[in-house]
Amino acid sequence: MKRITFVVIIAGFLTLPLFATGTQEAGAGEQASTPGGEVTVLTFQYGEDSTAQRAIDTILEEFYEVHPDIDVSFVNVPYNEYESRLKISFASGDPHDVVWMDAPNIASYAEQGVLHPLDEFWSSDDFGDLVQSARNAMRYDGSIWAAPLNEANVCVWYNKDLTDAAGLYPPNSLDDAWTWDEFYEAAAALTETDASGQVEVYGVLPAMGAPVAVHEGITFTVVQWVWQAGGQVLSSDGRQAEGHFNSDAVVEALSYYQRFFTEGLAPLQDISSGFETGKIAMYVTGPWQLGYMRSSYPEFNLGITPLPVGKEGASPTGSWNLGITANSDNKPAAWEVIHALTGREGAAIWSNTTNDIPARQSAFEGSPMFEPDQPLSIVREQLLTNGRPRPVTPVYPQVSEYLSRAFNDVAFGEDPRETADKYAAMMQDAIDEYFGQ
């Protein structure tokens, strides 16, 4: 019996969502004009007093006044299990009405037919309020499939106390952005070692986390090195990794990234709150941590400078988006929920509360955080100037994992050329297998 226990894990995973969604059929009735009934929303487990949860609560409070007949219930899943839980709920054929999706996955979900197109709900005027990168990300195959909760981008955050002490003044506009060499030299200048050679302050953490983990956050914060070196992860049609992920440009990006770690300017291990507590001087990451930092480290002297510019300037875009599932039996009400959370008003509340970058021009304009003299104005400028979406492919999960692992592996000293070849081949296998070659 024991030898097949592992199957139970699979069986358990498969059946859990069935129980979780078992009740959703009831109440979703035959509404005609004004939407009502029950809408279930699959989303993350935001912390109880997180800014995101506060934003949702604020928006819903108003929502219930306008739509007393719609009953919204949230199914909260821990962040690192979210993606598999979402897929299982799709696979069960009885998914939730509204789901959260990461931008690069929209295309593959749309292609698998598990999403309902939103064209009938969007007015073109309202859709035009989205920033360009978000508009691109929502479209696939001639339809609109999702509504963005917010945008995202990556900058270099720095500890002003440490840069001041080192006599370093990072650029504060995109035009003056560091070159790769200048960024490297800044990291070297900010690294401090004690008498015995132990590192006391690391110059930089050049990704969202140390190179020991594999998750979307790593991919999102390293992929710009590929683009900046003039390379791309996959061919534009998404069918070729060989010849792209193992191009000279990608090898150069991997070599550049590797130096920070092999020369001791960047930590190989995660240092919890290392940036906030001054153990890491610069941090390549996005504004999603800003809300937490402002509340937990109000004294922290934060500076933001654009990503360095290599052969070209480039920064990643695309965040979380809301869609309606194809099997939802209450689509009009589901749209009302999405619209409340991502419409002009909702988007403004969301980004003002969470400090996330809005995906709507109106929300940018109404927010004091993005005024030209504010540090976050750089994020806005960068997003609108050189933001790029992550590769679009139905095998994005594999591509993303292999991309993160390539960067992790070279940080631990693997040869960049061999690493690029290895993962390009693995990406290609996944693509070929999917398209049946």
For residue 213, the minimal CB distance to another protein (Å) is 6
Site string for another protein, 9-38 (x = CB under 8 A): xxxxxxx-----------------------
Which class for 2: exposed (0-12), middle (13-18), buried (19 or more C-beta within 10 A)? exposed
Bridge partners (DSSP) of residue 315 are 387
The token duo for 315 is: 């920064």
Q: What are phi and psi of 110, to 5 degrees?
A: -60, -40
Closest to another protein by CB, 159 or 382: 159
Closest to another protein by CB, 110 or 337: 110
Of 201, 250, 304, 426, which one interacts with another protein (CB under 8 A)?
A: 426
**Residue bearing tokens 């106390």:** 161
Question: Around 132, how many Cα atoms within 13 Å sit in the side-chain half-sphere?
Answer: 9
Site string for another protein, 271-310 (x = CB under 8 A): xx--------------------------------------
Binding residues for another protein restricted to 342-401, rule: CB under 8 A: 395, 397-398, 401
Closest to another protein by CB, 15 or 132: 15
Binding residues for another protein restricted to 201-240, rule: CB under 8 A: 210-214
Closest to another protein by CB, 27 or 413: 413
For residue 112, the minimal CB distance to another protein (Å) is 4
Is residue 43 part of the contact set for another protein (CB under 8 A)? no
Listed ranges 4-12, 35-43, 200-208, 357-365: which one lies at the site for another protein (CB under 8 A): 4-12
As a whole number of angstroms, the distance between CA 279 and CA 264 comes to 13
Question: CB 11: neighbour CB atoms within 10 A?
Answer: 10
CA angle (403, 89, 102) in 5-degree steps = 35
Closest to another protein by CB, 23 or 112: 112
Listed ranges 1-9, 153-161, 165-173, 182-190: which one lies at the site for another protein (CB under 8 A): 1-9
Give, for 316, the enclosing helix (H) or strand (E). strand 315-317
For residue 18, the minimal CB distance to another protein (Å) is 13
The token duo for 65 is: 């006044």
Which class for 188: exposed (0-12), middle (13-18), buried (19 or more C-beta within 10 A)? middle
As a whole number of angstroms, the distance between CA 196 and CA 204 comes to 21
From the list 366, 365, 358, 326, the residue with the least C-alpha distance to 342 is 358
* # of chain residues touching another protein (CB under 8 A): 48
CA angle (335, 337, 340) in 5-degree steps = 105
Spatial contact of 147 and 322, defined as CB atoms under 8 Å apart = yes
Spatial contact of 96 and 323, defined as CB atoms under 8 Å apart = no
Question: CB 189: neighbour CB atoms within 10 A?
Answer: 15
Of 337, 405, 407, 420, which one interacts with another protein (CB under 8 A)?
A: 405
For residue 395, the minimal CB distance to another protein (Å) is 7
Give, for 144, the enclosing helix (H) or strand (E). strand 143-144
Closest to another protein by CB, 184 or 423: 423
Closest to another protein by CB, 121 or 260: 260
Listed ranges 171-179, 269-277, 288-296, 308-316: which one lies at the site for another protein (CB under 8 A): 269-277
Of 69, 270, 312, 418, which one interacts with another protein (CB under 8 A)?
A: 270
Binding residues for another protein restricted to 73-112, rule: CB under 8 A: 83-84, 87-88, 90-91, 93, 108-109, 112
Is residue 197 part of the contact set for another protein (CB under 8 A)? no
Question: CB 207: neighbour CB atoms within 10 A?
Answer: 28
Q: Which residues contact 124 (CB under 8 A, 6 or more apart)?
A: none
Closest to another protein by CB, 67 or 405: 405
Angle of the 79-91 helix axis to the 5-21 helix axis, nearest 10: 80
For residue 93, the minimal CB distance to another protein (Å) is 7
Question: Which residues are at the interface with another protein (CB under 8 A)?
Answer: 1-15, 83-84, 87-88, 90-91, 93, 108-109, 112, 114, 210-214, 269-272, 395, 397-398, 401, 405, 408-409, 412, 426, 430, 433-434, 436
